[in-house]
Amino acid sequence: MSASPVRDQPARAWPRRRSLDPADVDLRVQLAGVALPNPITTASGCFASGVEVDRFYDVTELGAIVVKSVTREPRAGLPTPRMAETPSGMLNAIGLQNPGVDAWLARDLPWLQDRGARVVASIAGNSVEDFATVAGRLRGQPGIIAIEVNLSCPNVEERGLVFACSATDSQEVIAAVRAEASVPVLAKLTSDVTDVVSIAEAVVDAGADGVTLINTLLGMAIDPDTGRPELWNTYGGLSGPAIRPVALRNVHQVHQALPDVPILGCGGARTVEDVVQFLRAGASAVAVGTATFVDPFVGPRLIAGLRTWCAERGIAAVTDLVGDVQPWR
């Protein structure tokens, strides 16, 4: 008998696999039927149109580039201040500043096409018709491998309620986009709901080929001296490492309930270990957002790091990690 007050841990048979040559690790993944060379993508709104970060490295190394959301008409966005730093995170309220889908197609997409990037077009709108119109404009464009539907927008037809907070509103948008789109459709969901699984089920029923989990969490900060909100918009989206545990929980819940639905994990990933956590929770690929603000090279650093991490542990294919969570009981 052990005299230790600490209960003995159950003996766990860790698979002792021999380490591999990093070059032999297979980083290829499938996301909603689309083949990606690695599971690292950008997160929408954190990579502008791609050209800005290409000053630092060849952005086509990324598994995919999820571009900033485009809308039917150009949007100037919200007044400043648009950003506030919070513990291990930041709040933003940009207001979807973008040149509009037509200018994006004419100006930004051709550069990405020339470079051979795999583009996930993020679309936003304030009505079902807005979304359908934008999806229609994107139909058949080379280089666009999927459409991500930013459902965290206020629905003007429902008194400004965010689409992603309503299963039926989300369903209507996804069905309309699905009817127009020529590529897989990902529904980007919010964690600011009672039951994310029911929303995920609803969008899959409406034709979504996968889900992106999660968008920013709605938050607020107030300057204690002036009494003013730190953001002009009062509320903003919280991102960064602060939200990672919440994002992981959402990915895990949806993957447990809907194991066949592809998930693009998103929220606070910054290190290789973060990426592995998202994959284990059930994500097929991981979108990196706020980390790019801190480290412009985060994309290639994570791709190389993931390769080494897998090689050291004898994991031959990164897909072996997807959904691999060991139960305590």
Q: Which residues pair with 285 in a beta bridge?
A: 264
> What whole-number distance in Å separates Cα of residue 285 and Cα of residue 118?
14
> What whole-number distance in Å separates Cα of residue 181 and Cα of residue 244?
31
> Contact between 152 and other proteins (CB under 8 A)?
yes
Residue selected from 45, 63, 184, 267 as contacting other proteins according to rule CB under 8 A: 45
Query: Which among 31-39, 149-157, 250-258, 271-279 is the span making contact with other proteins, rule CB under 8 A?
Result: 149-157
Site string for other proteins, 218-257 (x = CB under 8 A): x------------xxxxxxx--xx----------------
Query: Which among 20-28, 141-149, 172-180, 295-303 is the span making contact with other proteins, rule CB under 8 A?
Result: 295-303
> What whole-number distance in Å separates Cα of residue 178 and Cα of residue 112?
23
> Contact between 111 and other proteins (CB under 8 A)?
yes
Query: Which among 31-39, 40-48, 136-144, 244-252 is the span making contact with other proteins, rule CB under 8 A?
Result: 40-48
Active-site positions?
153
Task: CB nearer to other proteins: give 31 or 288.
Answer: 288
> Contact between 92 and other proteins (CB under 8 A)?
yes
Instruction: Dig out the tokens for 30 from the structure.
Output: 């499938």
Residue selected from 20, 48, 221, 257 as contacting other proteins according to rule CB under 8 A: 48
Task: CB nearer to other proteins: give 155 or 284.
Answer: 155
- Write the DSSP string, 243-261: GHHHHHHHHHHHHHH-TTS
For residue 270, give every residue at least 6 positions away whose Cβ sits within 8 Å of its Cβ, in sequence order, or none: 241, 244, 288, 290, 291, 294, 295, 298
The gap from C-alpha 215 to its chain's centroid, in whole angstroms, comes to 7
Q: Reduce the DSSP state of residue 219 to 3 states and report it.
A: strand
φ, ψ for residue 65, nearest 5 deg: -110, 115
User: Which residues, numbered 64-83, are part of the site for other proteins (CB under 8 A)?
Assistant: 68-69, 75-83
> Contact between 216 and other proteins (CB under 8 A)?
yes
φ, ψ for residue 40, nearest 5 deg: -100, 120
Task: CB nearer to other proteins: give 124 or 279.
Answer: 124
* Residue reference for tokens 């919280």: 238
Starting at the edge strand that comes first in sequence, how are the strands of the sheet with 65-66 ordered?
40-42, 285-288, 263-266, 210-213, 185-189, 144-150, 119-123, 65-66
> Contact between 267 and other proteins (CB under 8 A)?
no
> Contact between 54 and other proteins (CB under 8 A)?
yes
> Contact between 273 and other proteins (CB under 8 A)?
no
Q: Reduce the DSSP state of residue 292 to 3 states and report it.
A: helix
**Residues found near other proteins in the complex (CB under 8 A):** 45-48, 51-58, 68-69, 75-83, 85, 87-90, 92-97, 111, 114-115, 150, 152-154, 160, 162, 215-216, 218, 231-237, 240-241, 290, 292-297
